[in-house]
Every structure is written in structure tokens, then in C-alpha cells.
Amino acid sequence: MTKRILLLGLLGLAFLTFVGLGVWQIERLQWKQDLIARVDARIHAAPVAPPETATGDDEYRRIRIAGTYIADADTLTQAVTKLGPGFWVMTPMTSEEGRVILVNRGFIPQDLKDQTAYAAPSGAISVTGLLRLTEPKGGFLRDNDPAAGRWFSRDVVEIARARGLSSVAPFFIDVEAAAKGAANAYPVTGLTVVAFSNHHLQYALTWFAMAALTIVGAIVVTRRGDSDEGSA
């Protein structure tokens, strides 16, 4: 009798735990769906001027800036895209307002690393793209090595320091895809991947299924106890 009560108590505790986890995943699902909707709205909104600073609520916002690229200040950061491995071409731009903003001008394959095919255009230019937050502490399980010119993430602060730039905006811009019919030249733009894993519904159903199993277990324990008492 005591063992049965203890077992039922444990099953009850497990039931509450599984239900709680399931409800938490439902809440996470609602949060994720809201996040996806907000980001989708930013991506398709009309471009705006860059903010003074940026938070998570600004990421993937469409930005338009006008200015001139700083010559011979490109930084190649390692990238893996649908076009294969290569590099992002990060180039600082001085805006018309005098701000320095790092611009990801697009992707180049590895065999173009030492060529001039990706040289930044000279003169005044306007670019539109998605605001991205800085990526500190390296990437690909490797730290950036500015002294050796090896970059594994788009760390705005480190890149600015390595290029001797000051007053750099704490974010960068991913240039959006070129208009249809434009020359297929490097760097290739518009390769920003905007995707969020959303498995919360599956997780919730799994936890609720586990809760249901505890009910089945409690029924089995109760029936066996009744059976044992009846045969005593």
C-alpha cells in the first residue's frame, strides 16, 4: 500500500512536470511566431535611415545609406553559403552624415581572395540592405586573428580596430540582392539567411504525450493494487 502511494505520488509529480514543460513550449511557440512575424515585417518594410545604435529589435531592419567606401579597407571574413565556401567582403563606408558604417558587400568564392574582382566602387553610392548585429568572439569554433588577417566572424569592433577606424556604428549592413538583370559580378549580394528554428509545437506535443503516459501508468498501478487487495 505504501509503495503504491509513493509510486502514484511520483507519477503525479511527473505529470505536473510534463504538463508544465508542455505549456512552456506553447508559450515559446507563441513567442517564436511573433518574432518571425516581426522580422518578416522588417524585411519587407520600406528602407529607413540607420539608427544611432542597434538592439535585437533592429536586426534585419531594411536600411538605406549613402556615402563613399573607404578605399583599401576591405576585410574578408569566412563564410559558408549556398554558393559554397568563401568570404564576406566587409568594407567601411563613410556616410553623408560623416558616420562610418561597416557594409557587407557580398560573397566571393575562395579562389577570388587574392584578386581585385571585388574592389569597392569609388565615388558616391547608395546601398540598401539589412541591419545585422555584430558577431564578437569569432566563429566556426575559431577566434578571429586580426594580426594574421584571419577572420571567422563579422566582429565590428575588432575589424574597426584592425583598420584604424573610429566612431564606427555598432552594427553592419548586409547589402540586399541586386535588381534582376544586373551583371552577375562579385561580390554576390542578397545571400542573407533569415531563418528561425521552430520546433516548439513538436516539443509541446511530446511533453503532453509524456504526461498522458503518466496517467496510463497511474491507472495501471491503481488497478494492480486493487487486484492485489482483492486476492488477499
Residue 174 pLDDT: 96
pLDDT in tens, 215-230: 998 888 888 766 655 5
CA separation for the pair 42, 171 (Å, rounded): 16
Between the alpha carbon of residue 54 and those of residues 120, 135, 138, the distances in Å are 25, 13, 20
CA separation for the pair 29, 25 (Å, rounded): 6
Instruction: Decide if domain 61-175 falls under CATH 2.40.50.
Output: yes
Between the alpha carbon of residue 42 and those of residues 68, 126, 177, the distances in Å are 26, 20, 16
pLDDT in tens, 34-83: 888 888 888 889 999 999 989 888 999 999 999 999 988 999 999 999 99
pTM, to two decimals: 0.79
Residue 125 pLDDT: 93
Q: Extract the C-alpha cell encoding 75.
A: 576585410
Residue 183 pLDDT: 55
Residues in the chain predicted with pLDDT less than 70, given as ranges, are 1, 179-184, 225-232
